[in-house]
Structure 1
Amino acid sequence: MPDYSPQTQSRVLSRVEQRGIEPVPVNQRNGKPSELFWVWFAANISILGIPLGATLIALGLNVWQAIAATIIGSFGSFAIVGIVSIAGRRGGAPSLTLSRAVFGVRGNIGPTLVALVSRLGWETVNTITGASALLSLCVICFGVPGGYKETPLLTLSCVLIFVALTAVISAAGHAFILTVQKWSTWIFGVLTLLVAGYLVTTVDWNTLLAGKTGSISACIIAVGTIASGTGIGWVNSGADMARYQKTNVKGGSLVLTAATGAGIPLVVIIGVGSILTAGGSDLASTADPVAAVRDALPAWVSVPYLIAAFAGLLMSNNLSVYSAGLTTITLGVRIPRVYAVVLDVVITTTGAMYFMLGSDGFYGPFVTFISLLAVPLTAWAGVFLTDMIARRHYKTDELLDLGRGSHYWYRHGVNVPAMASWLIALVVGYLFVTARVSDQVVWFSGPLADTVIGENGLAWLVSLLLAGVLYATLGLPAVRHEQAELAAENARDGKEA
């Protein structure tokens, strides 16, 4: 059981956050929605959006369609993240910890493990790209060779610098992250805008404006590509920062701050990638945009670009590692949150060093693998969001009880309706998926991949909707009954229902 004694509470919001996954007491929830705007903004100032913009043009869209698809996909997917944030305000706990109330304390292991793999995957990508940006700065400033394997010690040093900064900020916790993300938004957001403005001046506007209109099918695929590459990856982190929000904060404010905070930088950066590609530049479509900038632009542009790139990836990684630490504890690893952060950083550091120094070809296979996780992630979201329709209150102490006496033990530790809905939606979603690394390399193709749904990249949407419908049918009545009993219990105890 969590200890809410005055001595413990005085430590909880100290310089280094001591709290793990235990719910935040109501008297310590002082957050405002505007704080989350900066959190999501800074986490999405990432150059990884530039190749994503190139992908939209490669689908056959013109630049205006690409920008429209980016607006719909990014704002829409992060609106879902904002909705999950409402659960954090209600229960005061991280997303995957609250998920125990939905799936059961044992059933929740499956969705939590998927979430952790997704987080670690993207953190490895961030680490490699961030270290590459730092290495490119060394190439420009000191004239050293630019290949990973040509300068292994320098490459290793760049990785360690990136992960050390990540570990310090993530380990410090909630309050420090809020401050860092806000100031980073102003400093590196402005720098990114200046560099983006210069990049746009390098395109051939005649080529850009002559682009042909893409098909409706390509537009649908584009929206799905943006959604799965942006907000879907963050969907189960929504409550992790929102758990400190005041209990009277309106849900609409949380949705709006998440959608706009993430959507604005994503539209700018992905839009720049689309403009560069549509304008005839191959800068955005290269496999390594960091090295491409280093080689293609003058140093006075490359240096600020690489600084902004490094900072943007660091801000994204800070939040990801913070969430991954909470997810690791939720999975059942009984260590303090700071140690969980260190453990996750060690794993991603090992992965980054292996792929940079010991492997050829990384981005294609790895990004394909972690993009496959969009199906189970959205299936989880479908169940969790449907559960939120009826669940207004959580028995917060019971969220930490993993024994048979827990209120969320259900049957053998599993809430069967929720687990069945998740698994069925997951399996059905993969029927429509093609795991394609390149035109020559296809890992697998589902039997329904050549249907309209499969060809339009809507497997993630099928999983989201199917999981929600199944759980609404199988599990929602029981949730309503449980909430009615809890309200009656609170009324008897003289608490606010």
Structure 2
Amino acid sequence: MSSEASTPVSTGPIERRTIDMVPEDERHGSPSSQFTLWFGANMQITAVVDGALAVVFGAEAMAAIVGLLIGNILGGIVMALHSAQGPRLGLPQMISSRVQFGVKGAALPLLLVILMYLGFAATGTVLSGQAINLMFGFSAPAAGIAIFGALTALVAVVGYRLIHTVGRISTVVGILGFGYLAWQLFHQYDVASAFGQKPFTWASFLTAMALSAGWQMTFAPYVADYSRYLPSKTSTAATFWTTFGGSVISAQLAMTFGALVAALGANFIKNQVGFLGELAGPLAVVIYLVIVTGKLTVNCLNAYGGVMTMLTTVSAFNDRKQFSPATRLAYILGFVLVTVLVALLASSNFLSTFKNFVLLLLTVFVPWSAVNLVDYYLISKEKVDIPALYDSRGRYGAYNGVALFSYILGIVVQIPFINQAMYEGPLAKAMGGADISWIVSLVVTALVYYPLAARTMDVPRQMIYPAAEPAAGAPDTLPGYDGSLAHTSHAG
């Protein structure tokens, strides 16, 4: 074991765990923390934009709201099923992908995930930078961007506990801020006139579903990062429902607000931050603070989860099981620096193009989710050999051909059904622009992967935990471990 693998874990404010399993004696918190974290992460300006796009892409306001609701529910189910893995495994989300893809094979989706969250973090930094500049009257765009980057780095470096604290603050701030904005919208506009402006079409309805389902599923690759410290006996149902409720309720509220704003013809899409400030009137500065708080929550998730993903990728090829605090710090600062540089160098046209590219990359999440969930709940049935996740010569090997084939097939089958700014598939055109690519991918990937994996996966008879490594003078085992490699947890 490397020197970094045996780094002691501090009980201080700064998190020391990275990609290793969280032992039982370090577990803490309750499922309610998942509700506030994901409520705060979704009650923010980019979710409002996502809802507005449903109307911009042709949906009637009520159809857009209903379509967004269905998509949020379906995507939220997928996302929350990943979250429920956290207490059971005590691992970052993408480490568990090694069960399906192999220790090194998991690097394929990991690299695409890193690129995705760099893009989301950069665009979020631009919006927050604008809000900070308006709050303090800065004329240089770089000022707000740099300040927000520094805030993101600070929270991500402190880690898990502070991220959850920011989520709780963001929940309260978001409810109050967007509640006030909704009140202003109803007093300044004839909201009833937003409905019935366009005829119903299935294409625009399915597009609205895709927007919200895709929104929810982008959280899937790192959602368990924020539930892995919960005690292993935490109810699986409690973790699922608190995550699902927090994410779906807040996202739907924000997206409904966006759909109404777009349907009323307000100048929101071209100047999101400025419009919300104008709508707020005398409380504009307060609303800018609401924007920054909401974006800080989700940007910290991007930075923290992005770094976990990078460390997971690197560790597959250097056999690390843990990284030092200094290494973790360097990766976080590097990630945030890149997002700040992209935000500083980006013109408005570049950002539009980059967002479209990022949306196209959503296609990589759907088949990954299908493979991971089918294996965890139907094949492995929550039984994982955790030490083997860090050894390419172990149970899961370096590469798993069945998972990689199913994953690539799940991407390819989406191509004819995609309808995005960068590309429109022939079947999407034939259906009037409807994008059902994510539904096709979920179904096809699951149906292909399940029978093949059921015949080939080497599933342990029970959960296998790492052997305890007691300090001098400590008991022979850590709480929650029996001292052997085979130990069955009672989560859920």
Give the TM-score normalised by the residue count of structure 2: 0.87
The runs of at least 4 aligned residues of structure 1 exceeding 6 Å deviation read 2-7, 489-494
One-letter amino acid matched to 2:40: A
SS of 1:449's equivalent in the other structure is helix
Query: Equivalences for 1:14-413 in 2 at 5 Å?
Result: 14-138=12-136, 142=137, 151=139, 154-228=140-214, 230-278=215-263, 280-284=264-268, 286-294=269-277, 296-297=278-279, 299-332=281-314, 336-355=327-346, 359-388=347-376, 389-391=378-380, 392-401=382-391, 403=392, 405-409=393-397, 413=398
2:463–2:487 Cα contact (<8 Å) kept: no
1:234 aligned counterpart, secondary structure:
coil
Contact 1:130 1:313 in 2 (8 A): yes
Q: Deviations over 1:308-327 (max 9, x none)?
A: 11111111101111111101
* Partner of residue 473, structure 1: 451
Matched, 1:423 2:408: yes
Relative distance call for 1:199 and 1:104 in structure 2 (3 A) is same
For residues 426 and 209 of structure 1, the distance between their equivalents in structure 2, rounded to whole angstroms, comes to 36
The structure-2 alpha-carbon separation of the partners of 1:484 and 1:297, relative to structure 1 and needing over 3 Å to count, comes to closer
**RMSD of Structure 2 on Structure 1 (CA):** 2.7
In 2: Cα distance, 1:314 partner to 1:7 partner: 29
In the alignment, the residues of structure 1 paired with residue 404 and residue 7 of structure 2 have an alpha-carbon distance, to the nearest angstrom, of 39
* Contact 2:114–2:306 (8 Å) recurs in 1: yes
Contact 1:390 1:483 in 2 (8 A): no
Aligned residues: 462
* Residue ranges of structure 1 left out of the alignment (5+ in a row): 145-150, 437-442
State the 1:298 CA deviation.
Answer: 6.4
The separation in 1 between residues aligned to 2:279 and 2:488, in whole angstroms, is 61
In structure 1, the residue corresponding to 2:414 is in which secondary structure? helix
User: Does the 8 A contact of 1:61 with 1:219 survive in 2?
Assistant: yes
Shift of 1:124: 0.6
Contact 1:225 1:457 in 2 (8 A): no
Q: Distance in 1 between matches of 2:348 and 2:257?
A: 29
Deviation at 1:45, TM superposition (A): 1.9
Q: CA separation in 1, counterparts of 2:120 and 2:223? A: 16
CA distance in 1, matches of 2:260, 2:234: 39
What is the rounded CA distance, in whole Å, between the counterparts of 2:461 and 2:433 in structure 1?
Answer: 44
State the one-letter code of the partner of 1:351: V
Deviation of 1:493 after TM superposition, in Å, equals 6.9
Cα deviation digits, residues 242-300 of structure 1 (max 9, x gap): 1112222222222211221012222222111222232x33233x223113344x44641
Which residue identity does 1:396 align to in structure 2?
I
On the 8 A contact 1:432/1:451 being kept in 2, the answer is: no
Alpha-carbon distance, 1:204 to partner: 1.9
* Contact preservation (8 Å) 1:38, 1:182: yes
TM-score normalized by structure 1? Answer: 0.86
Report percent identity of matched pairs.
24
Taking the aligned partners of 2:88 and 2:231, their CA distance within structure 1 comes to 9
- Which residue of the partner structure matches residue 425 of structure 2? 446
- For residues 396-436 of structure 1, give each alpha carbon's deviation from its aligned partner in whole angstroms, at most 9, with x where no partner exists: 222223x4x33321xxx110100000011111212322441
Q: CA deviation at 1:119?
A: 0.9
Q: For each residue in 1:174-214, what CA deviation from the matched residue of structure 2 results, as whole angstroms up to 9, or x when unmatched?
A: 11211221122113431222123212322223522443452
Distance 2:485 2:351 in 1: 56
